[in-house]
Amino acid sequence: MKANILTIGDEILIGQVVDTNSAFIAAELNKAGIKVQRIFSVGDEPDEIIAGLDLAGNNSDFVFVTGGLGPTRDDITKQTICKYFNSVLKLNDEVLDDIRAFIGKRGLTEISELNRKQAEVPDKCTVIRNTNGTAPAMWFEKTKTHFVFMPGVPHEMKGLMTDTIIPKIKNLFSLPAIVHKTVLTFGSFEASLAQILEDWHKQLPEGLKIAYLPGGGIIRLRFSMSGPEKQTIVNTINCELEKLHQIIPGIIFGYDEDTMEKVVGVKLAERNLTVSCAESCTGGKISSMITSIPGSSNYFKGSVIAYSNEIKTNTLDVNADDIIKHGAVSQCVAEQMAKGVQKLTGSDCSIAVTGIAGPDGGSPEKPVGTVWIAVSTNKRTISRKYVFGGNREFNILRASVAALNMLREELIQIN
């Protein structure tokens, strides 16, 4: 079966908001064995919504729609839906109860007129109740196509998809298997990697697709294959994965939903080791990445964000003369920062980064994007210089991922 996705909202068409809902819906559908054919975005105009529904509904088993179901005046989707499905709005008591319960959790007792209107739903749809917000989802059938309308607020849509809509679809239909497997690599360029893998690529079995997805210093290699029998596909992919490991053993660091921070966290936890960071140019990004992982408090002690030189000397015990002599962006300062934060927090390992994120602060010898990274363990302290040469956001991200990867490589040596 196949699906199309339609997102509604002028904010998408003027580029004010990035459409993250489509990616989530697409990922959930793929996991369930439904192929997404196309994604469409249209504006908050009745004619455009109708044109979008026609386009998305054409030759598709499902259409998943988000946006335009909020309580405010710019939300005209519901009226347009009624017209499209030849339906009328009726007050739904169950939905009204849900709205009352939801706003009650926020300490409100009185339902506003705008919230009350959200309890009015088209009479020809199946209502899917929303426990995370005030707008319910609505499911219609029209000439064999199922149309599912959801609110555009991401966490509401996500709750509806995973808790109710996907289970309902699995219940109603028998679906084929789609298997995706993603291999994460760090430390290569796309063209070089493709060249190394050229021969392997040529011998891949028919129907197995490979895509290269570069971003943030990481290249993701995605395997995709579909068929009637999941285990056959999994076996085919595993066989090719093994060959890949023979060709590029050093640069593979994870799979699928893994992130560098998650992989590092697992390696720390496995070894029962703790970590801390001393961040200058990354400004808290590495700590923020590490602590985005649930359970990171088991291995993350804390960090010092040492933007000013005084904090480097006073808190991290960096030698002030070394800063004068070699500059704050130097190998010896990076290594002293790593040792300093390790001592301060009592952690087993540490990461330190000092560099020039930009746009200002560069010099001919140390251009914007120059970064020194040090990693310290109970065994040794190592350091490496990078020149990323991008804009501020890019340099911060690249330095953070490179620093975490350096720790990952050191952890592999331990045990």
Q: According to CB under 8 A, which residues from 272 to 331 bind its own copies?
A: 277, 279, 282-288, 290-292, 294-297, 300-308, 310-311, 314-315
30 binding its own copies? (CB under 8 A) = yes
Neighbours of 249 (CB within 10 A): 8
Neighbours of 106 (CB within 10 A): 6
Least separation in angstroms between CB 41 and its own copies? 4
Residue number, 112 or 378, with CB nearest to its own copies? 112
220 binding its own copies? (CB under 8 A) = yes
Q: For 413, list phi and psi in degrees, rounded to 5.
A: -70, -25
222 binding its own copies? (CB under 8 A) = yes
Do 381 and 338 contact (CB within 8 A), yes or no? Answer: yes
Residue number, 378 or 391, with CB nearest to its own copies? 391
**Binding-site string for its own copies from residue 96 to residue 115, where x marks contact by CB under 8 A and - marks none:** ---------xx-----xxxx
Least separation in angstroms between CB 124 and its own copies? 26
Residue number, 124 or 212, with CB nearest to its own copies? 212
Residue number, 43 or 87, with CB nearest to its own copies? 43
Stretch that binds its own copies, among 39-47, 77-85, 229-237, 264-272 (CB under 8 A): 39-47
Segment 344-383, which members bind its own copies (CB under 8 A)? 344-346, 357-361
Q: Report the candidate in 258, 189, 260, 302 with the shortest Cα–Cα distance to residue 403.
A: 260
Residue number, 210 or 248, with CB nearest to its own copies? 210
Stretch that binds its own copies, among 35-43, 140-148, 165-173, 330-338 (CB under 8 A): 35-43
Residue number, 124 or 194, with CB nearest to its own copies? 194
- The binder of its own copies chosen from 176, 187, 214, 367 (CB under 8 A): 214
Q: Quote the Cα angle for 339-325-281, to 5°.
A: 55
134 binding its own copies? (CB under 8 A) = yes
- The binder of its own copies chosen from 11, 163, 317, 409 (CB under 8 A): 11
Place of tokens 């339609």: 6
Residue number, 74 or 123, with CB nearest to its own copies? 74
Residue number, 257 or 415, with CB nearest to its own copies? 257
Least separation in angstroms between CB 234 and its own copies? 17
Query: What is the total count of residues that contact its own copies (CB under 8 A)?
Result: 111
Least separation in angstroms between CB 413 and its own copies? 25
Do 43 and 16 contact (CB within 8 A), yes or no? Answer: no
Segment 113-132, which members bind its own copies (CB under 8 A)? 113-115
Segment 152-211, which members bind its own copies (CB under 8 A)? 153, 155, 180, 182, 189-192, 194-195, 201, 209-211
35-42/137-142 β-pairing: unpaired
Residue number, 98 or 279, with CB nearest to its own copies? 279
Residue number, 134 or 330, with CB nearest to its own copies? 134
244 binding its own copies? (CB under 8 A) = no
Q: Report the candidate in 88, 76, 70, 84 with the shortest Cα–Cα distance to residue 44.
A: 76
Residue type, 160: L
67, two tokens: 């946006």
As a residue count, the chain comes to 415
Burial class (CB in 10 A: 0-12, 13-18, 19+), 66: buried
Neighbours of 139 (CB within 10 A): 16
Q: Long-range contacts: 165-170, Cβ < 8 Å, 24+?
A: 165/128, 165/137, 165/139, 166/28, 166/29, 166/32, 168/128, 169/32, 169/34, 169/62, 170/32
23 binding its own copies? (CB under 8 A) = yes
Do 348 and 274 contact (CB within 8 A), yes or no? Answer: yes
112, two tokens: 């506003």
Stretch that binds its own copies, among 82-90, 161-169, 216-224, 370-378 (CB under 8 A): 216-224
71 binding its own copies? (CB under 8 A) = yes
Q: Report the candidate in 60, 20, 68, 54 with the shortest Cα–Cα distance to residue 38.
A: 60
What DSSP character marks residue 378?
Answer: S
Do 68 and 76 contact (CB within 8 A), yes or no? Answer: yes
The 3-state secondary structure of 14-80, one letter per residue: CCCCCCCHHHHHHHHHHHHCCEEEEEEEECCCHHHHHHHHHHHHCCCCEEEEECCCCCCCCCCHHHH
18 binding its own copies? (CB under 8 A) = yes
